[in-house]
Amino acid sequence: MDPLSITASVIAITTAAAQVGNGLARLAALRGAPDLIMALQNEVNDLLGLVHSNRTILDRHIVLGGQYGNVHGLPPELVGVKSLLDRAEKMLNDINELVETKLTDSKGGFSKIGYLKEQSKLVNAKNGLRDIRMEVANGIGLMNS
Protein backbone atom coordinates (compact mmCIF):
# COMPACT_ATOMS: atom_id res chain seq x y z
CA MET A 1 0.00 0.00 0.00
CA ASP A 2 1.63 3.22 -1.12
CA PRO A 3 0.81 6.75 0.06
CA LEU A 4 -1.12 7.47 -3.13
CA SER A 5 -3.54 4.64 -2.40
CA ILE A 6 -5.21 6.71 0.35
CA THR A 7 -5.69 9.53 -2.16
CA ALA A 8 -7.26 7.05 -4.55
CA SER A 9 -9.56 5.86 -1.73
CA VAL A 10 -10.63 9.43 -0.96
CA ILE A 11 -11.40 10.06 -4.63
CA ALA A 12 -13.24 6.75 -4.95
CA ILE A 13 -15.35 7.33 -1.86
CA THR A 14 -16.16 10.86 -3.00
CA THR A 15 -17.33 9.58 -6.38
CA ALA A 16 -19.32 6.70 -4.90
CA ALA A 17 -20.92 8.95 -2.26
CA ALA A 18 -21.93 11.47 -4.91
CA GLN A 19 -23.59 8.75 -7.01
CA VAL A 20 -25.43 7.28 -4.03
CA GLY A 21 -26.37 10.73 -2.75
CA ASN A 22 -27.88 11.67 -6.11
CA GLY A 23 -29.86 8.44 -6.31
CA LEU A 24 -31.12 8.73 -2.75
CA ALA A 25 -32.01 12.41 -3.21
CA ARG A 26 -34.02 11.48 -6.30
CA LEU A 27 -35.88 8.81 -4.33
CA ALA A 28 -36.36 11.00 -1.26
CA ALA A 29 -37.99 13.67 -3.42
CA LEU A 30 -40.65 11.23 -4.59
CA ARG A 31 -43.93 11.00 -2.78
CA GLY A 32 -44.15 7.98 -0.52
CA ALA A 33 -40.43 7.59 0.08
CA PRO A 34 -39.84 6.34 3.64
CA ASP A 35 -37.80 8.19 6.25
CA LEU A 36 -35.13 5.48 6.05
CA ILE A 37 -34.16 6.76 2.59
CA MET A 38 -33.56 10.24 4.01
CA ALA A 39 -31.69 8.81 7.02
CA LEU A 40 -29.44 6.83 4.70
CA GLN A 41 -28.90 9.92 2.57
CA ASN A 42 -27.88 11.82 5.73
CA GLU A 43 -25.32 9.14 6.63
CA VAL A 44 -23.83 9.29 3.13
CA ASN A 45 -23.62 13.10 3.34
CA ASP A 46 -22.10 12.97 6.84
CA LEU A 47 -19.40 10.53 5.71
CA LEU A 48 -18.66 12.64 2.65
CA GLY A 49 -18.48 15.78 4.80
CA LEU A 50 -16.07 14.10 7.21
CA VAL A 51 -13.77 13.01 4.40
CA HIS A 52 -13.88 16.44 2.73
CA SER A 53 -13.35 18.42 5.93
CA ASN A 54 -10.37 16.31 6.93
CA ARG A 55 -8.75 16.01 3.52
CA THR A 56 -5.85 18.32 4.48
CA ILE A 57 -5.12 16.17 7.53
CA LEU A 58 -5.15 13.04 5.39
CA ASP A 59 -2.93 14.69 2.77
CA ARG A 60 -0.45 15.84 5.42
CA HIS A 61 -0.17 12.32 6.81
CA ILE A 62 0.28 10.91 3.32
CA VAL A 63 3.34 13.13 2.89
CA LEU A 64 4.62 12.23 6.35
CA GLY A 65 3.90 8.58 5.67
CA GLY A 66 6.21 8.67 2.69
CA GLN A 67 8.97 9.99 4.95
CA TYR A 68 8.37 8.31 8.30
CA GLY A 69 5.77 5.64 7.64
CA ASN A 70 5.72 1.93 8.16
CA VAL A 71 6.71 -0.66 5.59
CA HIS A 72 3.66 0.23 3.51
CA GLY A 73 4.65 3.90 3.42
CA LEU A 74 1.74 5.01 5.63
CA PRO A 75 1.49 5.76 9.34
CA PRO A 76 -0.39 2.98 11.19
CA GLU A 77 -3.40 5.22 11.91
CA LEU A 78 -3.74 6.01 8.22
CA VAL A 79 -3.60 2.33 7.26
CA GLY A 80 -6.67 1.80 9.48
CA VAL A 81 -8.45 4.80 7.98
CA LYS A 82 -7.69 3.55 4.47
CA SER A 83 -9.21 0.15 5.16
CA LEU A 84 -12.31 1.87 6.59
CA LEU A 85 -12.59 4.05 3.48
CA ASP A 86 -12.29 0.94 1.30
CA ARG A 87 -15.11 -0.71 3.28
CA ALA A 88 -17.21 2.43 2.94
CA GLU A 89 -16.62 2.54 -0.81
CA LYS A 90 -17.80 -1.07 -1.19
CA MET A 91 -20.84 -0.33 0.95
CA LEU A 92 -21.65 2.79 -1.07
CA ASN A 93 -21.39 0.82 -4.31
CA ASP A 94 -23.74 -1.82 -2.89
CA ILE A 95 -26.22 0.90 -1.86
CA ASN A 96 -26.01 2.46 -5.31
CA GLU A 97 -26.80 -0.89 -6.89
CA LEU A 98 -29.82 -1.30 -4.59
CA VAL A 99 -31.08 2.18 -5.44
CA GLU A 100 -30.67 1.70 -9.18
CA THR A 101 -31.98 -1.87 -9.44
CA LYS A 102 -34.32 -2.59 -6.53
CA LEU A 103 -35.71 0.71 -5.24
CA THR A 104 -36.58 2.24 -8.58
CA ASP A 105 -39.46 0.89 -10.63
CA SER A 106 -39.58 0.65 -14.42
CA LYS A 107 -40.97 4.21 -14.70
CA GLY A 108 -38.19 5.71 -12.56
CA GLY A 109 -40.41 6.04 -9.51
CA PHE A 110 -40.03 4.63 -6.02
CA SER A 111 -40.66 0.87 -5.77
CA LYS A 112 -42.47 0.16 -2.51
CA ILE A 113 -42.21 -3.59 -3.11
CA GLY A 114 -38.47 -3.29 -3.73
CA TYR A 115 -38.15 -1.20 -0.58
CA LEU A 116 -40.00 -3.75 1.53
CA LYS A 117 -37.80 -6.56 0.19
CA GLU A 118 -34.56 -4.63 0.73
CA GLN A 119 -35.43 -2.71 3.90
CA SER A 120 -33.18 -4.78 6.17
CA LYS A 121 -30.22 -4.25 3.82
CA LEU A 122 -30.86 -0.50 3.90
CA VAL A 123 -31.01 -0.45 7.70
CA ASN A 124 -27.76 -2.44 7.86
CA ALA A 125 -26.14 -0.09 5.33
CA LYS A 126 -27.22 2.99 7.30
CA ASN A 127 -25.86 1.55 10.54
CA GLY A 128 -22.69 0.33 8.82
CA LEU A 129 -21.98 3.75 7.31
CA ARG A 130 -22.56 5.40 10.69
CA ASP A 131 -20.11 2.99 12.35
CA ILE A 132 -17.49 3.52 9.64
CA ARG A 133 -17.91 7.30 9.86
CA MET A 134 -17.36 7.21 13.62
CA GLU A 135 -14.30 4.94 13.27
CA VAL A 136 -12.82 7.20 10.56
CA ALA A 137 -13.37 10.20 12.83
CA ASN A 138 -11.59 8.37 15.65
CA GLY A 139 -8.71 7.44 13.34
CA ILE A 140 -8.33 11.01 12.18
CA GLY A 141 -8.44 12.13 15.81
CA LEU A 142 -5.58 9.75 16.60
CA MET A 143 -3.56 11.23 13.76
CA ASN A 144 -3.99 14.70 15.24
CA SER A 145 -2.95 13.77 18.75
pLDDT tens, residue by residue, 125-141: 999 999 999 999 998 88
Question: Domain holding 62: CATH number?
Answer: 1.20.1410
Instruction: Check if the beta carbon of residue 85 is closer than 8 Å to that of residue 55.
Output: no
115 pLDDT more than 50: yes
75 versus 40: the higher-pLDDT residue is 40
Segments forming the whole domain that contains residue 10: 3-144
pLDDT band at 71 (very low <50, low <70, confident <90, very high): very low
Average pLDDT in the chain: 83
Predicted confidence at residue 134, as pLDDT, reads 95
Give the per-residue pLDDT at 2.
Answer: 54
Task: Annotate 123-144 with b (16+ C-beta within 10 A) or e (fewer).
Answer: eebbebbbebbebbbebbeebe
Task: Please give the tally of structural domains in the chain.
Answer: 1
Q: What is the pLDDT of residue 69?
A: 46
Confidence (pLDDT) at 73: 56
What are the pLDDT digits (tens) for 32-52?
A: 778 999 999 999 999 999 988
